[in-house]
Structure 1
């Protein structure tokens, strides 16, 4: 995987067998988002269950739209390891103990606060062996024009992780993905012979994603932390790796690429949750 990421920066033209195609990329989620994600006004949801429903190993994947984004990889891992994975996701609703600003409706996102309370209760009932927390930190706000700072993000996540650490055997924070300057499906449609024109430097792509804050919160609470940056970027974040379109928009990976990451994700999770962790 790391070799493929390194080679991607050398690509000039769009591969003829690109998958997913530019025409279908925006819909390449790799999971049923209408069933697996809570809607804007919903404050609870029945979780999607992946893997072995009769398993003795309970795993919870919890977050905003980035939780759903990782479902294709987690589904593969759950099947291979015979885990029962339950997914609790609500777009635009990070897990942090912060009242976020509903940017679409221009009001405090009260439903997000209620959803977090609901999920915390469900996690307490499940008592998972492994809890994976993942969020989109880019340009989140707590009020009109009030961007959440890295310090705010670290404080809010630290509070959340302290609560969740008492409810699960092991908690792992899955880091945020870099944000591209242009949406690859649209950009590549006009730059088929110049893929690099749709790339973003790693510095720019991570400038407003608070990965260091998340790593700090994980360290201070004894949670694990997994950086996903090596799976996506060298000094530059390319929109195509191998013959696969990496992003379906500026903020989310394609389901196809996420599924390809199931092996490296599994290895990373097992560093914090080894096979013999479940007795």
Structure 2
């Protein structure tokens, strides 16, 4: 007898009949996941179906064990079974992805892959992604070929937690409650489900991107499946009601991906749609789902889920296209299906079912045979591959750490050897020397404010003030706005120390000074309510503190066409500052490396063999012919426009290297090393505006 569910099928002693319809539901769910990922770039709700089914079948197995009188309570056999079931296929996929990463991806991507490989092997990938979802220093990273494995980590953690909770509760309560243990378990698991759902709502409101991967915010979904396993075996619906429930559940699952943007709305209340729909289909078997093609696809669900995402990502890396078309999408799907079948047939089944000959499909009624040498060799190869992946990942991470350990040298580079911006502003000679920071150093060549924790992150609306420059000076420049104001701190700090003024920071990630009521995160439509809250607090404090000058950006890229613009929300800020007699040093924003509608990372591009020009952007695309601030400045007598475009771009191109220095540390922020070479020109313009020196 075989009963399977979720991405990780697990045999259960109950119910007594095989549920082909739920195998078919898994097949439908993985089809929706693959189709929506490949062609639509959306979350279909299929993973939520898997989470519920995993809870249902694994929960049935665990509960059947503890509710059977005299059954052994040791969780070790189930844990070993999980390891044998889950790890081999994942290790094979990770090994293939590692080879493709080295072959197709630039070395700047290898560190992230190594981190995520270790996270996947250790089943904490979801926490890794939750921690980096709002990580400012990683905001420019491309989508990982292992990103989809977050759900594997959630399920693995859930299995271990459920085993532990149910085993402990049984040991404590069974001697006291006896036959009432089922009710007690239902009460505890129900309370945990409600608590997790409430936490998901709160976490979703605070930081949806991180909550999406949060195990505690996701636990209610498989717990709903466990409760179904505990209760639905005793529920019998009238035929007509079962039919209505099943059709409703199927319709909800089929429409979920098209009608609900799960990437933005899960794991909040909208996730109830696929979860409740799955419960309806568990309670109401639907013969349509037992169709042979769906059942067969359901058998491949785990392997297909593992393969489809890396195949898609590596194909996009190979083609350089932002998305697949109809024909190559079918190619990605076909390749994923073939790899899934081979993995299922020659890796999953032989190592999972000790009674099957190597490579044989599983069939009921086979007699047990000894473990064969081919199977032992296969298991040993998988273990060796897992160890090799771990060792290689740790080794590459250590190599990168050693490379970045030289980063302290960047502040001491000889000006004659590394003139940077002075090659543009002063026309100095540029010797033939290696670029600094290197492509591996670039990620850490960031402003001191980020390292010092002096910029509010995406989640919090708290205002953080730090002081740089001459901290004892009486004259003050307030550096205020988002990260594009922040990266000027390196030069401002140098100038403050040299010319006797202090720099007080009012900074928040991705949040320029604006009066927009509903700001959005750059290059997306995602609302950013914390930015509005922070702006209100920052502006009130700026008015109260009354600095001599507020240094902030005055333009943004024109996302609808070439050039840059002054957003309407900036004008309200200028009005407020002007009405309070506070002067503004208005810096024109530096060019963003937007290519074909996507942000392009220069370190990646250079690692792939690009050069300073091909990895950059044309000046005519990135910048308007004249600074848009000048048109608006006439109405603001206390606004002093600053423009260092000629220190970043030449007459035709905004290149990614100048004067042996890497201009950008990511796709739209200047490196701290290049910013140091801008200090002279910035100082000249500030002196002209302030008259301080």
- Bucket of the pairwise TM-score, normalised by the shorter protein: 0.7 to 0.9
Q: Do the aligned partners of residues 43 and 149 (structure 1) sit closer, same or farther apart at CA in structure 2, a change above 3 Å counting?
A: farther
Which residue of structure 1 aligns with residue 461 of structure 2? 43
Q: Encode CA deviations 1:174-194: one digit per residue, 9 max, x unaligned.
A: 0011122332111111226x4
Whether the 8 Å CA contact 1:30–1:256 is kept in 2: the answer is no
Which residue of structure 2 aligns with residue 273 of structure 1? 690
1:196 aligns with 2:581: no
1:57 aligns with 2:475: yes
Whether the 8 Å CA contact 2:425–2:681 is kept in 1: the answer is no
Which residue of structure 1 aligns with residue 656 of structure 2? 239
Question: Structure 2: how far apart are the matches of 1:156 and 1:105?
Answer: 17
Q: What stretches of structure 2 of length at least 5 have no aligned partner? A: 1-419
Residue from 631, 634, 659 that aligns with 1:219: 634
Question: Structure 2: how far apart are the matches of 1:119 and 1:266?
Answer: 26
Question: Structure 1: how far apart are the matches of 2:674 and 2:589?
Answer: 15
Question: Structure 2: how far apart are the matches of 1:58 and 1:50?
Answer: 10
Whether the 8 Å CA contact 1:66–1:136 is kept in 2: the answer is no
Alpha-carbon deviation of 1:158? 1.6
Q: Do the aligned partners of residues 173 and 187 (structure 1) sit closer, same or farther apart at CA in structure 2, a change above 3 Å counting?
A: same
Question: Structure 1: how far apart are the matches of 2:626 and 2:667?
Answer: 17
Map residues 96-107 of structure 1 onto 2, 5 A cutoff. Answer: 96-98=514-516, 99-102=518-521, 107=526
Which residue of structure 1 aligns with residue 531 of structure 2? 112
Q: Do the aligned partners of residues 255 and 47 (structure 1) sit closer, same or farther apart at CA in structure 2, a change above 3 Å counting?
A: same
3-state secondary structure, aligned to 1:161? helix
Q: What stretches of structure 1 of length at least 5 have no aligned partner? A: 141-146
Question: Structure 2: how far apart are the matches of 1:104 and 1:236?
Answer: 22
Q: Encode CA deviations 1:80-107: one digit per residue, 9 max, x unaligned.
A: 1121210111122121211312469964
Question: Structure 1: how far apart are the matches of 2:565 and 2:659?
Answer: 38
Alpha-carbon deviation of 1:139? 6.1
Alpha-carbon deviation of 1:253? 0.6
Which residue of structure 2 aligns with residue 144 of structure 1? none
Of stretches 53-62 and 194-203 in structure 1, the one that deviates more from structure 2 is 194-203
3-state secondary structure, aligned to 2:680? helix
3-state secondary structure, aligned to 1:221? coil
TM-score (structure 1 length as normaliser): 0.83
Q: Do the aligned partners of residues 20 and 83 (structure 1) sit closer, same or farther apart at CA in structure 2, a change above 3 Å counting?
A: same
Residue from 675, 678, 685 that aligns with 1:261: 678
Residue from 397, 415, 423 that aligns with 1:4: 423
Which residue of structure 1 aligns with residue 550 of structure 2? 131
Question: Structure 1: how far apart are the matches of 2:581 and 2:473?
Answer: 16
- Give the length in aligned residue pairs: 264
3-state secondary structure, aligned to 1:250? coil
Q: Encode CA deviations 1:189-226: one digit per residue, 9 max, x unaligned.
A: 1226x43322321012226xx97443333332221111
Of structures 1 and 2, the one scoring higher in RCO (CA 8 A, sep 6+) is: 1
Alpha-carbon deviation of 1:238? 1.3
Which residue of structure 2 aligns with residue 159 of structure 1? 572
Alpha-carbon deviation of 1:130? 1.3
3-state secondary structure, aligned to 1:101? coil
Q: Do the aligned partners of residues 179 and 149 (structure 1) sit closer, same or farther apart at CA in structure 2, a change above 3 Å counting?
A: closer
3-state secondary structure, aligned to 1:275? coil
Question: Structure 1: how far apart are the matches of 2:473 and 2:681?
Answer: 23
Question: Structure 2: how far apart are the matches of 1:125 and 1:6?
Answer: 38
Map residues 48-87 of structure 1 onto 2, 5 A cutoff. Answer: 48-87=466-505
Which residue of structure 2 aligns with residue 229 of structure 1? 645
Greater C-alpha radius of gyration: 2
Whether the 8 Å CA contact 1:172–1:224 is kept in 2: the answer is yes
Question: Structure 2: how far apart are the matches of 1:231 and 1:108?
Answer: 34
Q: Encode CA deviations 1:241-260: one digit per residue, 9 max, x unaligned.
A: 11111011221110100111
Alpha-carbon deviation of 1:127? 0.8
Whether the 8 Å CA contact 1:44–1:119 is kept in 2: the answer is no
Q: Do the aligned partners of residues 174 and 195 (structure 1) sit closer, same or farther apart at CA in structure 2, a change above 3 Å counting?
A: closer
RMSD (Å) for aligned C-alpha atoms = 3.1
Which residue of structure 1 aligns with residue 590 of structure 2? 177
TM-score (structure 2 length as normaliser): 0.35
Question: Structure 2: how far apart are the matches of 1:205 and 1:77?
Answer: 28
